Amino acid sequence: MLPEHVRALNNLSVDLVRVKKPQLDDQEWEQINETLHIAIEYNHQVVFTLWIDGFFKEVEGAIHFIDEINKRVLLVDVKEDVHKINFESIVEVKNAK
Can you give the CATH number for the domain in which 82 is found?
A: 2.30.30.520
Q: What are phi and psi of 52, to 5 degrees?
A: -130, 115
**What length is written for the chain?**
97
Give domain status of residue 1, yes or no: no
Distance CA 83, CA 75 (A): 5
Give the predicted TM-score (pTM) of the model.
0.79
Q: How many domains does the chain have?
A: 1
pLDDT digits (tens, 9 = 90+) for 34-91: 999 999 999 999 999 999 988 999 999 999 999 999 999 999 998 999 999 999 999 9
pLDDT digits (tens, 9 = 90+) for 10-40: 776 666 668 888 999 999 999 999 999 999 9
Give domain status of residue 9, yes or no: no
Domain extent at residue 57: 21-95
